[in-house]
Amino acid sequence: MANASTNIAAAGPRGPKPRRAISGRNIMIYGTLGLVALYYALPLYVMIVTSLKGMPEVRLGHIFAPPVEITFQPWVKAWAQACTGLNCDGLSRGFWNSVRILIPSVVISIAVASVNGYALVNWKFKGSETFFTILIFGSFIPYQVMLYPIVILLREMGIYGTLGGLVMVHTIFGMPILTLLFRNYFTSVPEELFKAARVDGAGFWGIYFRIMLPMSMPIFVVAIILQVTGIWNDFLFGVVFTKPDLYPMTVQLNNIVNSVQGVKEYNVNMAATMITGLVPLTVYFISGKLFVRGIAAGAVKG
């Protein structure tokens, strides 16, 4: 009896159900993915290829053809020699301007917003809910509406047209969304942890730096990605709030690409665009890994 039943069990289905490698479903999935990848990769390919060709080769118009003679001259020119209006020192000036805008803006906005979010969750004060509502409302106001008032404000403060002014603008405009981000994250931290720290005698900053901050790396990475790409890619504020010799890279790129004098140097333009995009691209590559690691570390509850 017992033997017979085990035999039947052995003969029947057992373990994982076998799946065919090539099925209609798989073809659909990989086919679609392939098409989408091609759609995004093709323009990138054209840009890279063109930026490595000399002008004579570009003029032939075979945009998909790989370069016959690889030259890095367009990249060098884009970085160091391309002309924008008055000066001819390439994108390098804009790059350093952007760096000088980016670093303080990212650091200040994230520092302030994380403390904001922490205070809103753990140190509720009278009117903290109202404050939060106003802040959220702020994230729905279109930037364009505020441009002119801010120009006047900066002028009155005497920092219109300086990097400091632009840093301030970026910090302020990053505030609503970043505060929301941090507030929501800190809400998910158990309240008892905060209470335990208070019994242990840690104060406002003690709890922030020693308990909350080390627990919140994933959300800081998210905030950094958000701010670095957002501020680096900003064009509007850069154009409005700075002067030509302080223009960020994006504005300078536009000026190079749209310059009217002389021939259009497609290879230099492509190289310039690639250089400008390198920073957000690098951030994605590096932080992607960090991000996953951060999430994995945060997932283990204490």
Smallest gap from Cβ 210 to other proteins, in A, equals 7
Left, alpha or beta for 261 (phi > 0: left; psi -120 to 50: alpha)?
beta
d(CA 41, CA 202): 52
Of the pair 206, 288, the CB lying nearest other proteins is at 206
Residues of this chain that bind other proteins (CB under 8 A):
190, 192-193, 195-202, 206, 210-211, 214-215, 300-302
Contact (CB, 8 A) for 299 and 215: no
Of the pair 59, 195, the CB lying nearest other proteins is at 195
Smallest gap from Cβ 289 to other proteins, in A, equals 20
Q: Nearest to residue 173, comparing CAs of 226, 123, 127, 100?
A: 226
Smallest gap from Cβ 292 to other proteins, in A, equals 18
Question: Residue 98, Cβ neighbours under 10 Å: how many?
Answer: 24
Smallest gap from Cβ 124 to other proteins, in A, equals 11
Smallest gap from Cβ 227 to other proteins, in A, equals 24
Contact (CB, 8 A) for 170 and 234: yes
Of the pair 195, 243, the CB lying nearest other proteins is at 195
d(CA 220, CA 229): 14
Q: Can you state the angle between helices 92-122 and 128-138, rounded to 10 degrees?
A: 150
Of the pair 243, 293, the CB lying nearest other proteins is at 293
Of the pair 95, 118, the CB lying nearest other proteins is at 118
The encoded tokens of residue 298 equal 């945060």
